[in-house]
Chains A and B, each alone.
Chain A
Amino acid sequence: MKKIFVLMTLMLSFSVAAVIDVYDFETEEQEALFRTLTAELRCPKCQNNNLADSNASIAKDMRQKTYNMVVDGKEEDEIVTYWIDRFGNFVLYKPPVTLGTAILWVGPGLFILFGGLIIVRNSRRKVSVETDDRDEELSSAEKDRLAKILKDSEK
């Protein structure tokens, strides 16, 4: 078992271009909060990166400022509001719940509702749905051919 385990733990090394900032936190909650924030805040300048993954100088500044606020004891909502105040909703990966964004939830929700209704309706149908007659019935010529084939295969 140990041998298999050792065999399985292969060592691999691959390329990466991430940036690692080291911040010291007093408590685990603060560290967790910082990680959550830098993951859900978006770098205003980059090509779709969150604050944690970006090398851009604006992202570094925002990380530093976020760290300062976390260590100061600010709550998640306060910090998020701080950034939205300066950069708009763009900077948060969670969309605001407004009339304009309602379709995100309403669209799929309505689809599920209608889909469910159609399923229930179709299953309640007493009579078969219209049939494709061409599928079901054979012409008399085809019936003859079928009889001949069946007869042949019995030989």
Chain B
Amino acid sequence: MTNDVKKKKQLMTRLIPLIVFLCVSIFLYIGLFRDATVLESTFIGRPVPEFALNDLVEPELQHDKSVLSGKPMLLNVWATWCPTCYSEHKYLNELAEDGVYIVGMNYKDERKKALKWLDELDNPYKISLYDPDGMLGLDLGVYGAPETFFIDSKGIIQYKHVGDINPRNWNGELKAVYEQLK
């Protein structure tokens, strides 16, 4: 009797490596369909930090965090050195025409180049912030361009999207996020 029980216990022990391996495999499988380089934002549910940035178009004009509250909006981080921003820009124009309120933040760029770009490609931004040394970017956890923050009327960041906004992901999940902003 006890010999049988002992044998069963030994079998259970020998099965442990297999079970552990299969559990690990599940995680490996899931990992295949995720982008390992995307970093989630620490600002979800937090207010936009204090800042003082000049306007891109009117260098004398200064903005602070009040421009990022009052109504639901997108804060789009972009630059002329970023090729994905170029392909994103046309769609942003369309969204702006549809009534989406977008504030632009020109990130680590040259004012002249940025203005030329907006001139040639149209300007979807209600307000354009100029962050030449990326300090607001750092304070928001921006690590590249394009990135877009979804901010509600209280100035609380509700969502951050890394990468371009295109018809697929807008109609997929982002539009719903925007419409849920209060």
Contact flag (A, B; Cβ within 8 A): yes
Contact residues of A with B, CB < 8 Å?
44-45, 47, 57-58, 61-62, 65, 84-88, 90
Q: How far is the CB of A121 from chain B (nearest CB, A)?
A: 13
Interface of B is mostly: loop
Task: Identify the closest chain B residue to A57 (Cβ).
Answer: B108
Task: Identify the closest chain B residue to A88 (Cβ).
Answer: B42
Assess the B39–A87 pair: CB atoms within 8 A: yes
Assess the A65–B144 pair: CB atoms within 8 A: no
Interface of A is mostly: helix
A/B pair count, beta carbons within 8 Å: 37
Tally B residues with Cβ within 8 Å of A: 16
Assess the A85–B138 pair: CB atoms within 8 A: no
CA of A84 to CA of B39, assembled, Å? 12
Assess the B108–A87 pair: CB atoms within 8 A: no
Residue in A47, A65, A90 whose CB lies within 8 Å of B39? A90
Q: How far is the CB of A118 from chain B (nearest CB, A)?
A: 10
Q: How far is the CB of A49 from chain B (nearest CB, A)?
A: 13
CA of A62 to CA of B138, assembled, Å? 8
Q: How far is the CB of B162 from chain A (nearest CB, A)?
A: 10
A58-B143, A62-B138, A86-B139 known; A44 vs B39 contact (CB < 8 Å)? yes
Q: Other than the known A44-B143, A45-B143, what 6 A-B pairs have Cβ atoms closer than 8 Å?
A: A61-B108, A61-B133, A85-B42, A86-B140, A88-B40, A88-B42
Q: How far is the CB of A130 from chain B (nearest CB, A)?
A: 10
